[in-house]
Each structure stands twice: as structure tokens, then as C-alpha cells.
Structure 1
Amino acid sequence: MNGTRSAPITTINKSVSILGRRGLLLLWLAWSVAGIANDSVTNQPPKHDSGWHYFHDEAVEVPWSIHIFRIERSRHDLEFCTTLGKGNVLGMSTVSEQAKNVPSELGQPLAAVNGDFYNKHEDYPGDPRDLQITQGEVVSSPNGHACFWIDAAGNPQATNVLSRFRVIWANGTTTALGLNEERPSDGAVLYSSALGKSTRTSGGLEFVLETTTNSSRLPLRVGQIYHMRVREARTSGDSSLNADSLVLSVTGSHRSDHSNRRRTRARKRR
């Protein structure tokens, strides 16, 4: 489908950390349904020693054109990865374009399929609706819908995933976070370089953050706690992004709370 922003890619490489996407599960289901619906010899995939099988089937009465790619899960040289619409940043592009942009060090792309749903917003095109992890980096937060992934033992999993992303302020209070998405009128979003060159926001209060010496290292990964210091506070929005820092953008009551705290600290220094 043209316009999708993410596609799972099967690659030949033994060392890639992987996370399949929901669309790939649909590919496996298509194989199972096709096998049950028609068991004629002509519909069976050709045998390969490479651990994968592909064939094309049709149900002309619907009409359906069914592309089936079967993977032998016992093969450790076949793995899944997710892609971003613009190579190393979020965006929009076709599945074939994303397959061409897979880094050569990940291996040779063999098959690709549309990934998850995405939110439509002119400033954040291709923003994944739910969780996405690419090469170990978290680029989009979960939103409570079903997600598909491969666990550490190599087994496929699928269930609803909820976000526990939050910032813990210096006074001990916490605020829930979105990640690389449209900022709500009253809330907080964390932005990383996976979004692109800047946050694309207007106004609000933005903290440019850098890691401390006792913190987990960037990029963002699941299950980690990052200790950050504020390098700069900005009120004009559209803060620059790079691989060595994050930007926390807050609005509404969250902005008022932390603006008041900044003024209080400034008075104490005087």
C-alpha cells in the first residue's frame, strides 16, 4: 500500500536485534488460510534450502491476489526488523522504497509487508499509532492496542501493550509521556533524533536534556531509566534534535507548574 511508513523486513544476518510488526503476523495468517483453502500441488511453495518459501495464489472469485512468504523459524540466519519511512527518521514512503533503504550491515532484504497503522498529522507524517522499536531503539510509544514482537527466545508474541513512559521531576512528581508525536494541548512529549532535525512544535516549554554520567546511554531502549540534566530551557518551540540529546516538551498545566518552579528557583538564587 502506497503511503505506509513502516514495513517489517526479513534479513539474512545472525546478529541483528529484531522486532516484528503486526503486519507480518497477517502474512503468516495468510499462509495458514491459503494452505487450508486449497491443498492442490500447484499451490504449494517451491522448496528452498535457504529456509524460506514464496508463492503467489489467487482467489479470482473475490478477487484476491495473495502473496505468501513462509519462514522456517528454526533458522537463526533469518530475522525480522522494522524500518522508518525516511531511512533513519520517521516519515512516509512506499514499502519498496523502505526495503531499498535497509542498511547493508543488517543483511539482504528478502520480503517486506505493510506494518502498523499510523496517525495522520501534517507535521508528523507517518507517526506510528503504537509501539515501534527499530534496531533496539524505541521510536514510538505504545497506545494500548495489540502489538507483535519476537521475544528473547525467538518466539512470536502478540498482545495489547500499555505505556509506562514517564518523567520523574526533581521534586518527585511524575508526568506521563508520549514519544515523537503530536504534542497535546495539556501534556508532555519526549522527542528524539528519530523524529528528524527538530521537534516541529510551536510555543510551550521545552527542556533540552543530556544524560548524566550515571545514566543509561542513548538511544532510548525498553526497560531503561535515564538520568538527565537540563542543558537549556526554551519557550519558542521547534527545538533542534540530535543523537546526543532529547527534548522534553510540555504544555498546559504542566508548563505552568514548571515555569513557576523555574521562577521560584531564580528568586532564591538572588
Structure 2
Amino acid sequence: MAASTPSDDSFLSRNQFLLYRLFSLAGLVPVGAFLVVHLLTNASVLGGAASFQSRVNLIHSLGPLLPVVEWAFIFLPMIFHAVMGFVIIANGMPNVGSYAYMGNIRYTLQRATGMIAFAFILWHITQLHWLGAPLGGGQFDPHHASSSAAVALKPMLVALLYAIGILSTVFHFANGLWSLGVTWGLWTSPAAMQRANWLSVVVGVGLAAAGLGALGGMRAIDVEEAREIETRMDRARQLLEGETADSHAAGAVQPVSLPALD
């Protein structure tokens, strides 16, 4: 039986050209860029607890702007990309112009890893922010980044699920670079598509190494030693912020008392 397709009068059919491009663009620029930065930031734990903590501090230096940035440039584009992906799967709609250069296994894996990645991201956020023992969760503390992450990732089952989630997310992104190029007409010949294949492989292997390296590095962290380092860094940060606030207060224009007129 042929895959069902939306009717000619449906919203998807009428706006397919625009929606596909927004779908692929959201997967590359906000979501894909965040994935790269997120994995490379996490991989800095291989340089030690202080290295990772300094990068987390840099991110959280945005203060009250951080949730705004997260929702505007990460969560909303990610939700749009996920919803459109499920719509494409549900309607049997291809998101590339041709199947001639894309095998059925690759096509199926792209959609399967997309669903796994979506479930993993939801669980990842929940596991690090709301779940607690004995459900395999741990509260992530941005001021004790590596030690709190190490506690959350210690259970072997959690580490295994993270490995599956990381590899699925990386494959979905790296393989998606190929289909994005087809959607945008960046590679239209077999030779160009072959080069794009190699680009996808290089990006995928590099990000997978960063992600799995970060996972292994966090699980290898000495929690007590890392917590001592993070505590010292947090005290130094608070001292610096206090000195900055004091200097601002000292630099403020003070009211001048005028002599009373006789």
C-alpha cells in the first residue's frame, strides 16, 4: 500500500516548500549549533573539573538572560523541528527531493534516531533537573558542574542510555547535513553527494568522540576532589562579584551636603 500523503488542499501541501526549509534550517542553525557547542563544552571535562566549571560559569554569566536565550534559540526551534519531524513521519512525506542517492536503511535510521533523540533530550533534561534517587536522577548544580554531573551519570544503566542517546542524536544531526544539502540544492550531483557523505562521516565521528569522551570523563571524575575545586572557584566568583558591586557603589555619585545659608 502506498504511503499516505496529505491532500492537495492541506496546509502542509500548500506550504511544503517553506516548511521543509524552515525544518531543515532549524535542525542546523539553532539546534545543530547548540548540539556542537554543548558536546564540546561537556568534553572540556577531560581537561579537569576546573576546565569544565569555567565554561559552565561563562554560560551562566548571562544571568537572567540565559532562560530567554535558551527558549528563543534552543527550545522553541527544537520543538518546531521535532513537531515537523513527527508530522513528516506520520504523513509519509519525504523531506528530501529524491531517494536515488539515499538508501532505505539510511532513510529509516534518520527517522528512528530522530525519535530516539527527542526522547533522550526530554529524559536528559528531566533526569538532570527533577528526577532523584532511586530513579537514576541527580540535580545538576551549575556551581558544582562536574561533581553533580558525575553523581547523576554514575549508574551503569544511566551511562548506557546516555551513550545510546548521544550516538542517536549525533547520527541524526550528521546524517541530516546530507539531506539538508539536498533540500537547499547544495549538492545535486552524485560526486557532490559523495563528498557530502564524507562530510557527514567526519562530523559524526568527531561529535560522537566528543560526546562519549565527555560521558566517560564525567563518570571518571573524583567527586570529592572536584567539589573542593568547584567550591573554591565559586567562592572566588562570589568575591569577584562582590568587589565589582562594591566598586560600582563606590563609583556612584554621592549627594553633596551644601552649607546652610545664614
TM-score bracket, normalised by the shorter chain, equals under 0.3
TM-score by length of 2: 0.23
Q: By percentage of residues, which structure has more strand?
A: 1
TM-score (norm 1): 0.23
Structure holding more helix per residue? 2
